[in-house]
Amino acid sequence: MLSRRLVPFALAVLLSTPLWSQPPVQKPPDAKAGEDKEKEKDKKPLEDKLSRTQHTLTLDGQKIAYTATAGTLVLKDEDGTPKASIFSVAYVRDGVKDPASRPITFCFNGGPGAASLWVHLGAFGPKRVERDDQGMGSAPPGRLIDNDQSILDLTDLVFIDPVSTGYSRAAPGQDPKQFHGVNQDIGSVAQFIHLWVTRNERWSSPKFIAGESYGTTRAAGLAYHLQDRYGMELNGVMLISSVLNWQNQEFHAGNDMPYLIHLPTYTATAWYHKKLAPELMKDLAATLREAEDFARNDYAQALMQGDRLPAERRREIAARVARYTGLSQEYVERSNLRIEIYRFTKELLRDQGKTVGRLDTRFTGSDLDAVGAEPEFDPASASLDGPYEAALNDYVRRELGFKEDLPYERHAKVWPWSFEGYENQYVNMTEALRGAITRNPHLRVLVTASYYDLATPYFDAFYTVDHLGLPESLRGNVRITTYEAGHMMYIRRADHVKLKRDLADFLRR
C-alpha cells in the first residue's frame, strides 16, 4: 500500500518542477570508486563456507566421538558457473578407518519449501528439542538436550536444506525458480548428494536416504534418479510419513480417493478425543480395522455410485460414516458423504469450541468463533515451528560455529511449485520407487505411518504399498511400521523409542 501512495505523490512533485530548473546531480568524488568496489564485490566467486567442530554423545552407554560440519557447498554447472549454495549439517563418527564399514544417511523434511530442522533436531541428530513425553511443547524458546534416540551410533548423518530453505540460496544472478519444482528439486538435491559423497570419499559406504512428508516424494524420486544419473545405488530408503501418490491427498471434485484414505485417521482422532460409541472405544487397533474394512469396501462402493446411490443406502452409509468419525449423521449427509480434512478438524470438537490439528490431531486449538467452515490455524504446526527454529538458530551459531546473518527459512516461499512432467495428472512417485527397486533388488524401503496424522494418513501408506506393482519376489523389500502419534511421531517419547528400534533393525539388515 505504501508504494501505491508514494508513487503518485513523487510523480506530482516531479511534474510540478520544470526539468530545466533542476540542478544536475553531482556525485561525490569517491562515488564512482564506491560503485566499482560494489561491482567487484558482486564478481567475487561464490565459495564453500564450512565450520567443523568436535563433539561427543553417549548412546546406550557407548561414548561416540564425532565431527560436525555445518555450512554451504556450491553447486555448479559443468562449465563452473555457480548455481546455488546448499546448507547442510553433517555428523561423521571419528576413528572409522574403512568407509565401507560405516553407512551414511542423507536426511531432509518436506514442504515443498521446508528446511530439515525437524528431522535434524527432533528425530535423528545428536541434539533434540525438549518436549514432554506426549510430545506437547513447553514455554518458548526451544531448549536443546542430548538426543538419546539419535541414530548416530548406526550411521553418519547429513541434513540437507534444499534451495531457498534454511540458509540455502540460489547463486547471485540465478533465478531460484529453476529449483522450485518436482523434478528440479530432485535434480539439485541429487547433485548435492553426489558432490558430498565425492568430496568426502564415501562412494564405498552403504548409502541411505530418509525423507519426511514431501521429503518422501523427493526420496522416492532420488532413489531412481541417483542410480540413473550418477550410478549411485542406495541400500535403503526411509519414508517418514509418506506421500507418494498425490491423488490420495488432493480433495477435488470427482476424486473420491482422499475420502476413503482419510476416514481411518478420522476414526483414530475421534477415538483419541472420546467421540466414538462406547463399544468402539475399547480397543483402538480393532476399531481401526473395522474402519479400514468399511473404507475399502462399502464406503468405496457407495462413493463410486455417486448420484445413483439409493436414498435408503445413502442414509445407511451416512450413519456408518458418522459412527466411525464422531460426526453427526446430519452433518455427514449435508457433506454429501464426503468429509474434507479442514471440515473435519473444525467440526469434531465444535461443541467444545475447539479445533483439532492436521499434522497431529491430538493437538487442539481455539478460533475466534465456532461457526466457520474451517479452522483459523493448525495448532500442531503452531506448536512445532517456533521452538525448533529458535533452537536451530542458537545451536548452529554457538555450538557448530557457523555464522550467517540470513534468516533461516524453515518454510520458504517456493510457490508456484513446478509440476513439469506431471501436467494433467497427479504427481505419483510410486513408479520411480518401483523402478529403483526392480533395477536394484537389494534396495530396502521402510515406511513409517502414524494414526493421528492427517497430512499423510497412515491408511495411504498401506494403500500405496499395495499398489506399487512389485513382483511377488520383491514385495518383502518394503516394510511399514505404525505409531500412535502424528506427522512427526518422534515428538512422542514412546514412539521415538519405537522409531529408533525400527530404524536400527532396518539399518542392520
pLDDT of residue 43: 59
The pLDDT of residue 139 is: 84
Q: Helix (H, G, I), strand (E, B), or coil: what is residue 444?
A: strand
pLDDT at residue 342 in the model? 96
- Would you give the distance in Å from CA 460 to the centre of its chain? 16
Where, residue-wise, is CATH 3.40.50.1820 in the chain?
Answer: 49-247+385-508
Residues 6+ apart with CB under 8 A from 481: 446, 447, 448, 449, 498, 499, 502
Give the pLDDT confidence of 188-217 residue by residue, as tens digits.
999 999 999 999 999 999 999 999 999 999
Query: Residues of the chain whose pLDDT is less than 70?
Result: 1-43
Q: What are the distances in angstroms from CA 210 to CA 427, 447, 503?
A: 20, 10, 10
Distance CA 191, CA 273 (A): 45
Say what the pTM is: 0.90
Strand-strand pairing, 62-76 and 169-170: unpaired
Residues 31, 422: Cα–Cα separation, whole Å: 51
Whether domain 49-247+385-508 has CATH 3.40.50.1820: the reply is yes
Predicted confidence at residue 37, as pLDDT, reads 52
Question: Which CA distances in Å does 189 have to 151, 159, 319?
Answer: 22, 11, 48
Say which residue the cell 519376489 belongs to. 473
Specify the long-range contacts of residues 373-382, CB closer than 8 Å, at least 24 apart.
Answer: 373/342, 373/343, 373/346, 374/342, 374/343, 374/345, 374/346, 375/342, 375/345, 375/346, 378/345, 379/355, 380/486, 380/487, 381/357
